[in-house]
């Protein structure tokens, strides 16, 4: 026991420059991420309505009142439904297209690296710019989508895509999917490139069809990187604020409102930090839960 303590002391003395080197980064993360996280969670239990900062209850403990307030709010309820819909639509669409693209790009094609670079363009473009570009393309007066559709006779007159309750959600989702595919694809492609060709050749010799070798060989091998990529992608999808806010601001009639935009609206438009913090905590829990379910699903198949 004595010896162990002594050894640990010696270890510490020998490695002190290491601790010194990681200290600034650890301090930065503690003060810039961990502390605000806990402060945010704390705020969700506090009365903090900036519209009425002189009220007696301002900055006092509120218990679960903020949570009760948002759960009885119809817009919040709709934003929860929208968040689930938004996540599932984005995730499924991105996963399928990215998988097909990665499988196609994994073949020996002429000009493969050129295609790969060009396909990465949507990922590299800043979110705000993508949002403004597509707002332009969807526009009722000058948008190319309307112009072409009318010219080709598919529409009798222009549609204000982003102003319509029926279409806005899908139009914005399309932009998020368009922007999200390359990231997912790169991960799958990197994993696919690690599988030696000989594995498929021997499977083919044994009479396995393409379909079978995909499910039996490819998928199990790339499962782990796929799971990591999907969770990272999920974080991006759920916090896809810029695209939604710049295209529709959650409208029309809250049809594109997700938890993230709801929390933003509560905080910086309605100035109620308490309920906004409560909504963001729900969002955080949603992300954690979704990742957990996904990881469980991946593990179960083993």
Pairwise CA distance, residues 195 & 102, whole Å: 13
144 binds other proteins (CB under 8 A): yes
Shortest CB 24 distance to other proteins, Å: 5
Structure-token pair, residue 227: 């799971």
189 binds other proteins (CB under 8 A): yes
Burial of 236 (0-12, 13-18, 19+ CB in 10 A): middle
Q: Which of residues 32-71 bind other proteins (CB under 8 A)?
A: 32-34, 36-37, 39-41, 43
Query: CB under 8 A: which stretch of 15-23, 61-69, 81-89, 159-167 binds other proteins?
Result: 15-23
253 binds other proteins (CB under 8 A): no
Contacts of 131 (CB under 8 A, 6+ apart): 175, 242, 243, 245, 246, 247
239 binds other proteins (CB under 8 A): yes
Of the candidate residues 116, 140, 270, 295, the single one contacting other proteins (CB under 8 A) = 116
Of the candidate residues 225, 251, 295, 298, the single one contacting other proteins (CB under 8 A) = 225
Structure-token pair, residue 17: 């420059």
Burial of 107 (0-12, 13-18, 19+ CB in 10 A): exposed
169 binds other proteins (CB under 8 A): no
Pairwise CA distance, residues 55 & 60, whole Å: 10
Shortest CB 260 distance to other proteins, Å: 6
Query: CB under 8 A: which stretch of 62-70, 81-89, 96-104, 293-301 binds other proteins?
Result: 96-104
Inter-residue contact 117 to 125 (CB < 8 Å): no
Listing DSSP states for 20-76 in one string gives HHHHHHHHHHIIIIIHHHHHHHHHTTB--BTTSTTSTTTTSB-TTHHHHHHHT-HHH
Shortest CB 207 distance to other proteins, Å: 13
252 binds other proteins (CB under 8 A): no
13 binds other proteins (CB under 8 A): no
24 binds other proteins (CB under 8 A): yes
Site string for other proteins, 123-142 (x = CB under 8 A): xxxxxxx--xxx-xx-x-xx
């Amino acid at each position: 026991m004595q010896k162990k303590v002594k050894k640990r002391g010696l270890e510490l003395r020998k490695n002190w420059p290491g601790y010194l080197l990681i200290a600034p980064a650890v301090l930065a993360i503690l003060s810039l991420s961990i502390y605000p996280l806990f402060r945010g969670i704390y705020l969700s239990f506090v009365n903090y309505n900036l519209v009425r900062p002189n009220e007696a209850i301002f900055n006092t403990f509120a218990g679960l009142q903020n949570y009760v307030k948002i759960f009885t709010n119809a817009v919040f309820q709709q934003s929860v439904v929208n968040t689930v819909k938004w996540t599932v639509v984005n995730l499924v669409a991105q996963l399928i297209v990215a998988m097909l693209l990665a499988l196609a790009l994994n073949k020996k094609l002429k000009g493969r690296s050129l295609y790969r670079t060009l396909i990465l363009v949507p990922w590299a473009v800043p979110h705000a710019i993508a949002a403004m570009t597509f707002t332009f393309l969807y526009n009722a007066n000058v948008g190319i989508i309307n112009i072409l559709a009318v010219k080709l006779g598919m529409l009798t007159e222009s549609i204000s895509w982003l102003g319509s309750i029926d279409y806005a959600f899908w139009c914005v989702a399309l932009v998020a999917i368009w922007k999200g595919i390359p990231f997912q694809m790169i991960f799958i492609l990197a994993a696919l490139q690690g599988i030696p060709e000989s594995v498929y050749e021997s499977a083919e010799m044994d009479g396995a069809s393409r379909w079978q070798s995909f499910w039996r060989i490819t998928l199990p091998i790339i499962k782990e990187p796929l799971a990591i990529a999907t969770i990272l992608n999920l974080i991006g999808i759920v916090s896809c604020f810029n695209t939604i806010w710049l295209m529709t601001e959650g409208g029309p009639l809250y049809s594109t409102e997700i938890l993230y935009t709801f929390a933003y609206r509560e905080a910086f438009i309605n100035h109620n930090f308490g309920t906004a913090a409560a909504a963001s905590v729900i969002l955080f829990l949603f992300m954690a839960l979704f990742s957990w379910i996904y990881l469980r699903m991946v593990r179960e198949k083993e």
